[in-house]
Chain A
């Protein structure tokens, strides 16, 4: 924990707005609760603004800048007055941090606002390690784990060491690196449905890389990648399970892995 954070700790706990992401909100709330638990464990208060929906990336990457701008302004307003904005997704965090200012280019006031907003935005593992200096985590896990680097987090936000450092602090967890951890899984947002065959070739290669190191569990920091990889692994009948890294770090393992059958359900 750096000096400033220590001082803040004495005065009051930093208030962190959890940008939960539309996919986590809809598909896997347990990731949101895990993220909240970790942020609290890092000595912060978690706030979840109800007026958040989606960061606007699908519109932005489809060339619909007008819609993306509307959603960017809505998101920035929802998180006004909070010390930090943290997202359990490299992709959404990169949108908020790097692309909002670009999206507002040409409107000096909005651009300045987006820049100030961007300063406060962090991807979850980067926030825990780089901002809060977290070294111990609540969770534990017995087994072999491999980690897939999501493209935006890795290349746009340089998130690579942070999740690994936190995973190495999980008692019982053995991290095994697959070949091409940073190669795209083929999700790419709407790409997966616009070019399903190419996407399939990419996710098939990713699953083969993962299978080669024989993990029990595949982790990643983006639910988009995880839905894609988990969906492919389950279609292939693989025994490899998938979770968001926050679930393992926080010890939130009650929910079945992504795409896995519920307790007591038929396999």
Chain B
């Protein structure tokens, strides 16, 4: 959770963090180029975006119907569905399930909903041994950090950071082992995680989609870790949220076709798993019980508001990959679970507007996010709506109050063209005089935020309106 002051401090730290800056510099060549390629290779990509948007909008318009259908069909398939209205509910439900299973070791695959409710720390406080099995998420866990990206949690780390963390975290392995290459580190992680997979009592996964017609959960990964997390322990818990449901499998396909392409540029993630209930009588393996915990946590309020389109989100991360602000400061600076443009819209709704509405300010409204969003969320309009809510709030920090007063004064003047013209003439003259023959101001006390980093080009000295009026007058006197 952040406020404007802590955000500014985090931004300054992020901009000065050279390793982070080098890591962020790779985003355009990786994710952005990947998406561009994938889009070019799939004819009808833009049409698919509209289809995907329509699927989401239809589902959201009848969300109660599809959630009830999901519950009925999931129950029929042998799962137990739990409804959690907030994080506390969800944590209690999951802890009860773990206790009833006499669990000691819990494996987890990547789930942003679990980050949202800070599940891992809560389970660890209850003396459970919780292990993240997604490699990036595991790195973030052992470094005691939070994910800095919703699909690439450790995007802020360098290879050497990983080696250092492994040496600290895995003291039972020879100290002089070779950890110079990513391959060596992956082999080590696989070794360590395998033991956890095999001994875990409960496995927790997220869900990318819930299919109402069959009560299934669809889970995608690139590492196959979710499959081991859900199939080896005797209890599988799916932690997800109400916005993940789609009516049928046919509706899930366009979303799946867009998800990996928008995220990494892959046609499909390496693993796409459909899980429908626990082990059946004839199944050779699988968990004995499957619990599906479905979280609300502010989403029904979003559903009823003019911010509803944000619930279309399929968590691909394209908006942050293409965001010049995200690519300048990284995910941690946002201080919210979900960073980037989607995070700036979603986080205040989930955390309460007082805390993070200021994130909506940190955008130039350049619009690249909505240009690439696979479900066409009008992110700029949504950010503008948050600014509107913030603007009409009475309690604000001093800097915003001052800006608001200045803005009102300017708007008052702009609504009085005659007074505005006179003021503009005055400003043009004063600024031009300050610029002198240099044609620019290197320092300006009234615009120090601007001149700290760049010069302020000086105006030409007269306003267009006065010069044009003079020209018109001359034209008239010239005419016979």
Residues of A within 8 A of B (CB): 20, 22, 24-30, 32-33, 36, 48, 50-54, 56, 58-65, 67, 70-71, 74, 78, 102, 151-152, 155-156, 182-184, 186-203, 205, 227-228, 230-232, 234-235, 255-256, 258-262, 264-266
Contact = CB atoms under 8 A, between A and B. Distances in A.
B271 interface: no
A78 B371 CA distance: 33
Contacts of A195: 8, 11, 325, 361-362
Contact of B456 (A200, A201, A227, A265): A227
A202 B371 CA distance: 19
Interface in B376-435: 381, 384, 386-392, 403-404, 407-408, 410-411, 414-415, 417, 420-421, 424, 427-428
Nearest to A154: B367
B389 A63 contact: yes
B388 A65 contact: yes
Contacts of A28: 459-460
B167 interface: no
Interface residues of B, number: 65
Nearest to A46: B468
A230 B462 CA distance: 20
Chain B interface, DSSP helix/strand/loop, else mixed: helix
Nearest to B383: A61
Interface of B: 8, 11-12, 15, 324-325, 328-329, 361-368, 371, 381, 384, 386-392, 403-404, 407-408, 410-411, 414-415, 417, 420-421, 424, 427-428, 436-440, 442, 447, 449-450, 452-460, 462-465, 467-469
Given A70-B411, A259-B457, A265 B424 contact: no
Given A26-B424, A71-B411, A193-B449, 10 more contacts: A29-B460, A32-B464, A63-B384, A64-B407, A71-B414, A184-B364, A187-B364, A188-B365, A198-B329, A255-B460
B437 A262 contact: yes
Given A156-B367, A232-B454, A265-B436, A53 B459 contact: no
Contacts of B442: 235
Contacts of A203: 453-454
B325 A198 contact: yes
Given A27-B459, A184-B364, A194-B403, A59 B454 contact: no
Contacts of A230: 455, 457
A134 to B, nearest CB: 22
B464 A29 contact: yes
Contacts of A228: 454
The 3 closest A-B pairs by CB, nearest first: A188-B364, A265-B437, A259-B457
Given A60-B384, A199-B453, A71 B415 contact: yes
27 contacts: A20-B468, A25-B464, A26-B459, A26-B463, A27-B460, A29-B460, A51-B417, A53-B420, A53-B421, A59-B407, A62-B407, A63-B389, A64-B404, A74-B417, A102-B381, A184-B324, A191-B362, A193-B447, A194-B361, A194-B449, A195-B11, A197-B15, A197-B453, A198-B11, A201-B15, A202-B325, A227-B456
